[in-house]
Amino acid sequence: MANQSRRNFLKTSALIGAGLTGVSSKPAKAAPNNILDENRMGVLVDTTVCIGCRKCEWACKTAHNLSAQSIESYNDRSVFKNMRRPDDKTLTVVNEYAAKGDDQFPVDVKVQCMHCDKPACVSACIVGAFSKEKNGSVIWNGDRCIGCRYCMVACPFQVPAFEYGKAIQPEVRKCDFCFDRTKDGKLPACVEICPMEVLTYGRREELIDLAHQKISLYPDRYVNNVYGEHEVGGTSWLYLAGRDFHELQFPKLGTNPAPGVSEAIQHGIFAYFVPPIALYALFGGVMWLNKNRKQDEHKEANHE
Amino acid sequence: MSEFIKPTPMPRKYFTPTVIFLSVIALVGIIFVFARLIFGIGTVTNLSNQYPWGIWIGIDVAAGVALAAGGFTTAALGHIMHKEEYHLITRPALLTAMLGYTFVAMSVAIDLGRYYYIWHPLIMWNGTSVLFEVGICVMIYLTVLYIEFLPIVTERFIGRVNLPGLLKKYNNSVDKFLRALDRGLDKTMFIFIIAGVVLSCLHQSSLGTLMVIAGPKMHPLWQTPILPLLFLLSAISVGLPMVIFESVLTSRSFDLKPETPILAGLGRMIAPILFIYLSFKIGDMVIRQTFVYLTEFNTASVMFVIELVLGIIVPLRLFMSPQIQRSPLGLSIASFLVIFGVFLNRLNNFIVAYTPPYQFTPYFPSVGEIFVTAGFIAIEVLLFRAFVMIFPIVSVPQIPAVHKTKFSIRGAK
């Protein structure tokens, strides 16, 4: 931890130095450790196994000190009547989609932050309060956040939630991949509690292999698609399903990283600060020329 | 050289029925601001996890920045292009921009969940964030605007410093300080003027980039990679109409004759800019083939058509007509349409086009949000009136003018 803060300190001071000398071309690099580690972890969610017991919801609340009701109350299946979304008090929810035919089962889908490999929230955050950590988690740093909610505008999965009810220190809340637990070698709370082994925690690369193995072993059980493998440049959480993902209300997204175009534009406009400085020089030149021209005209007018 | 037209404070009675009406709106707005500060954003607004941004960002900030574009367009015209005949419109435009950006900053502040951390971006940088760039540019530009306004303050008080009571003995030194300040500013002002124009070009365009990251959450009629260019072009095209509209309003409010020849000159410049903006907007629509969405009948398509036809095409036609250019009423109607068009464009981009993937209740601004927005606009108008009365902003004929070709303004020699 001490090492970590020292590195941050060095980065910050390097950045300030660069900023002062005016050569800082990409302060972007100073944003928190947004490294894509090849050993980053992920979770494979097999929605064909989930029974909708909602134990993961209970475990998540308990692990994050959010007021959870008794574990028995989570057996109540009436909540499935309406589609629910994660919010500031519930970081993960399970939704149920009715069975299609008589011979099929309803499908239960756990929803939480996807922990993108190239997260839009990390790119968008005005103060760099989000970071993609080495182990794959995308986490939020409450000390920096100013509550602008641009992360919520940016997120393609509509995940970050804001504490609208609080006037002081409202937080942006979302699944943090149990960063504090995994740090100590523990499993994420939802993975640990799941009685049906719906959730497999492991290296993302291996999970992708596993997912494709499952698909090729049981081609009748799964659609031939791992949601999250390529969506918005890849996500740490991956899904298998027996139905088209869009029927299960997964957003239809391309394979380009979510922040892609906006970062390209941004870096185009500010490429090494050349365009702004060139613009300044251009305006200065035009101003000087016009001023001289006017003065010459005045002189000529006076001569006449 | 005798001075014919010169910026002068306008000593009038401050309170009129309109002013009292605006004050009431302002007061209600302020009450809602306090409610927001005490009870939180959720109590006062209809914002939700689906719609994180409402009219405080869409109107107060996005449209506010665009409609304050008169400041940098007239600075570019009057100072950089050095068209001296337009110097007399730079001051009202500068005041509008200064007040406009001040309220943009205040709107951002009350919309921030943690408004007391508004200074964080100054030391916590994230270069990939478009919002960071907009924030920093707006902060610097606001400072530049205050600096650009300083000569008007020194002009008002040099030789007229009259401090009350015990402070009286400092009158002389304050006067000296003002004179020194004025001399210093006079020599360095060009730096700030150019900086102001550059900063404006940067953040006006980046305000467009802001919504690019929302990707598929934004309706394809508006979501385009050239959003920054469209935002810059629309900001430039709304700058002069804003100046014309304000000038006509101010003339009416203070019983002055409208500066028709100058306004006509401005009016002639608007059509070409609007035409360029229109071509890019239509070109973008053709290239991305988004016109297919116009065959649907829904809020998005209707709003887009209104924005395009009433906000760009109709005023473009109006500004091309010589009769319109000669009449203050025609000019102000055409200008109003451009203002309305750009206002609607910002509202569309930030709110109408925003369609979250999981939508439970559509967003419509709450009473509180509307009153805060209306209140801020009212306060701006009230402050504008007060500033125009106190400071030399509006140019009026000093003696019956014989020939109106020469204008003299301090610092513009």
pLDDT, tens only, A281-293: 899 988 888 888 8
Phi/psi of residue A45, nearest 5 degrees: -105, 115
Q: State residue A259's pLDDT score.
A: 84
HSE, CB side, 13 Å, CA atoms: give it for residue B372.
Answer: 29
Q: Is B356 in the A-facing interface, judged by CB distances under 8 Å? A: yes
B349 located within any domain: yes
Long-range CB pairs of B282-286 (<8 Å, 24+ gap) are B284/B224, B284/B226, B284/B230, B285/B221
In a domain, residue A20? The reply is: no
Banded model confidence at residue A298, pLDDT cuts 50, 70, 90: confident
- Give the total number of structural domains in chain B: 1
User: Mean of the pLDDT values across residues A55-83?
Assistant: 91
Quick check: A235 and A211 in contact, CB under 8 A?
Answer: no
Q: How many domains does chain A fold into? A: 2
> Closest residue of A to B125, CA-based?
A127
pLDDT the model gives residue A304: 53
Strand pairing partners for A116? A235
The answer to whether A34 and A121 have CB atoms below 8 angstroms apart is no
**In which domain, by residue range, is A146 found?**
2-14+26-258
B156 in Cβ contact with B392 (< 8 Å)? yes
Q: How far apart are CA A151 and CA A146, in angstroms?
A: 11
Contact B376, B106 (CB under 8 A): yes
Sign of CA dihedral B377, B379, B380, B381: positive
- Residue A125 sits in the same domain as residue A61: yes
Between residues 258 and 277 of chain A, which touch chain B (CB distance below 8 Å)? 258-259, 261-263, 265-266, 269-270, 276
pLDDT in the model for residue A21: 40
Residue A67 has which token pair? 């007021």
Q: Is residue A42 part of a domain?
A: yes
Q: What is the mean pLDDT of residues A252-276?
A: 82
CA dist A280 and B153 (Å) reads: 27
User: Using a CB-CB distance cutoff of 8 angstroms, which residues of chain B are in contact with residue A152?
Assistant: 49, 52
**Closest chain B CA to residue A149:** B52
Indicate whether A210 and A97 sit together in one domain.
Answer: yes
Q: Which of A48-62, A79-93, B82-96 has the lowest mean pLDDT?
A: B82-96
* Min Cα separation B197/chain A (Å): 8
Closest Cα in chain A to B43: A165
How many Å apart are CA A129 and CA A145, to the nearest integer?
6
- CB contact, 8 Å: A99 with chain B? no
Query: Which comes out higher in pLDDT, residue A300 or B330?
Result: B330
Q: Are A227 and A279 part of one and the same domain?
A: no
Mutation test of the interface with chain B: which of A166, A283, A297, choosing the one with the most B Cβ atoms within 10 A?
A283
- Residue B171's pLDDT is what? 85
Strand partners, A172: A162
Residue A253: its chain B contacts at CB < 8 A? 215-216
Mean pLDDT for the stretch of residues A6-22: 45
Q: Is residue B407 part of a domain?
A: no
Q: Rounded to whole angstroms, how far apart are CA atoms B338 and B244?
A: 11
| Range in A36-40, A78-82, B34-38, B407-411 with the lowest mean pLDDT | B407-411
Rounded distance, CA B50 to CA B363, Å? 9
What is the DSSP annotation of B261-289? HHHHHHHHHHHHHHHHHHHHHHHHHHHTT
Q: Say whether pLDDT at A208 is over 80.
A: yes
Chain B positions in Cβ-Cβ contact with residue A150 (cut-off 8 Å): 52, 129, 131, 210
Any B CB within 8 A of A282 CB = no
A157 in any annotated domain: yes
Whether residues A279 and A253 fall in one domain: no
Among the partner-chain residues A146, A166, A283, the one whose CB lies closest to the CB of B112 is: A146
Any CB–CB contact under 8 A between A234 and chain B?
no
Q: Residue A10's pLDDT is what?
A: 46
pLDDT digits (tens, 9 = 90+) for B40-62: 999 999 999 999 999 999 999 99
Q: Please check whether residues A85 and A186 belong to one and the same domain.
A: yes
Asked whether residue B411 is assigned to any structural domain, the reply reads: no
Q: What is the rounded distance in angstroms from the CA atom of residue A94 to the CA atom of residue A111? A: 6
Question: Contact at 8 Å (CB) between B185 and B216?
Answer: no
Average predicted confidence (pLDDT) for chain B: 90
Helix (H, G, I), strand (E, B), or coil: what is residue A110?
A: strand
Q: Is A147 within 8 Å of B117 when comparing Cβ atoms?
A: yes
| Cross-chain residue pair A149–B120, CB shorter than 8 Å | no
Kindly state the tokens that stand for A179: 């960063």
Give the whole-angstrom CA distance, residue B394 versus residue B140: 26
> What is the pLDDT, as a whole number, of residue B254?
85
Tell me if B410 is assigned to some domain: no
Look at residue B5 and give its three-state secondary structure: strand
The tens digit of pLDDT for each residue in B141-189 reads: 999 999 999 999 999 988 888 888 788 888 888 889 999 999 999 889 9
Residues A228 and A279 in one domain: no
User: Looking at the DSSP assignment, which residues form a beta bridge with residue A173?
Assistant: A161
> DSSP of A121-144, one letter per residue?
HHHH-TT--EEE-TTS-EEE-TTT
User: Chain A residues with CB inside 8 Å of B130's CB?
Assistant: 124, 262, 265-266
Task: Tell me what pLDDT residue A9 has.
Answer: 47
Reported confidence tier of residue B258, pLDDT bands at 50, 70, 90: confident
Surface of B (15-54) touching A: CB under 8 A: 36-43, 45, 47-50, 52-53
Is B214 an interface residue toward A (CB < 8 Å)? yes
Token pair 């398509």: residue: B301
Residue of A nearest to B41 (CA): A164
Chain A interface disruption, residue of B44, B86, B129, most A CBs within 10 A? B129
Amino acid in the structure at residue B27: L
Assigned domain for B11 exists = yes
pLDDT of residue A265: 84
Q: Is the pLDDT of residue A257 over 50?
A: yes
**pLDDT tens digits, B269-326:** 999 999 999 999 999 999 999 999 999 899 999 999 999 999 999 999 999 998 888 8
Q: pLDDT-based confidence at A131, cuts 50/70/90?
A: very high
Q: Which of B47, B107, B126, B205 to mutate to test the interface with A (most CBs of A within 10 A)?
A: B126
Average pLDDT, chain A: 85
Selection from A23, A15, A267 nearest residue B128 by Cα: A267
Minimum CA–CA partner of A250 in chain B: B357
Rounded alpha-carbon distances, angstroms, from residue A66 to A80, A145, A164, B48: 21, 20, 16, 20
CA-CA distance, B100 to B61, in Å (whole number)?
9
pLDDT in tens, B182-191: 999 988 999 9
Whether residue A79 lies within 8 A of chain B, CB to CB, comes out as no
CB-based contact (8 Å) between B11 and chain A? no
- Taking alpha carbons only, the member of B298, B300, B286, B277 closest to residue B222 is B300
Name, in order, each residue with C-beta under 8 angstroms of B325's C-beta and a sequence gap of 6 or more. B264, B267, B268, B319, B331
Chain B (299-338) residues lying within 8 Å, Cβ to Cβ, of chain A: none
- Examine the domain organization and report whether A179 and A239 are in the same domain: yes
The CATH number of the domain where A36 resides is what?
3.30.70.20
Quick one: pLDDT at residue B4?
65
Taking an 8 Å cut-off on Cβ atoms, the answer to whether A162 and B52 are in contact is yes
- Structure tokens that stand for B282 in this block: 């239509």
Interface contact A262-B213, CB threshold 8 A? yes
pLDDT digits (tens, 9 = 90+) for B359-374: 888 999 999 999 999 9
At A24, phi and psi to the nearest 5?
-65, 105
Domain membership of residue A287 (yes or no) is: yes
Question: How far apart, in whole angstroms, are the C-alpha atoms of residue A229 and residue A239?
Answer: 9
**Both tokens assigned to B247:** 């000038």
Q: What is the pLDDT, as a whole number, of residue A30?
A: 39
Q: Which residue of B has its CA nearest to A163?
A: B42
Contacts of B37 in chain A (CB under 8 A): 167
Instruction: Say whether residue A126 is in contact with chain B using an 8 A CB cutoff.
Output: yes
CA–CA gap between residue B313 and residue B309 (Å, rounded): 5
pLDDT of residue A15: 45
pLDDT bin (cut points 50, 70, 90) of residue B399 is low
Decide if A291 contacts A283 (C-beta within 8 A).
no
Tell me whether B355 touches chain A (CB under 8 Å).
no
Give the count of beta carbons closer than 10 Å to the beta carbon of residue A35.
Answer: 11
CA distance A185 to chain B (A): 31
CA B381 to chain centre: 12
SS3 content of chain B, % helix, strand, coil (to 5): 75, 0, 25
Show the tokens assigned to A118. Answer: 């190239």
* Contact (CB, 8 A) for A14 and A73: no
Q: What is the pLDDT of residues B213-222, one digit of tens each?
A: 998 999 999 9
Q: How many helices (H) and strands (E) does chain A have?
A: 9, 9
CATH number at residue B90: 1.20.1630.10
Supply the range of the domain harboring residue B230. Answer: 5-397
CA distance linking residue B238 with residue B341, whole number of Å: 9
Is residue A263 one of the residues assigned to a domain?
A: no
Q: Is A240 helix (H, G, I), strand (E, B) or coil?
A: strand
Indicate if A282 and A245 belong to the same structural domain. Answer: no
List pLDDT tens digits, range B267-277: 999 999 999 99
CA-atom Rg of chain A in angstroms: 25
A218 touches chain B (CB under 8 A): no
Task: Enumerate the residues of chain B whose CB falls inside 8 A of the CB of residue A23.
Answer: none
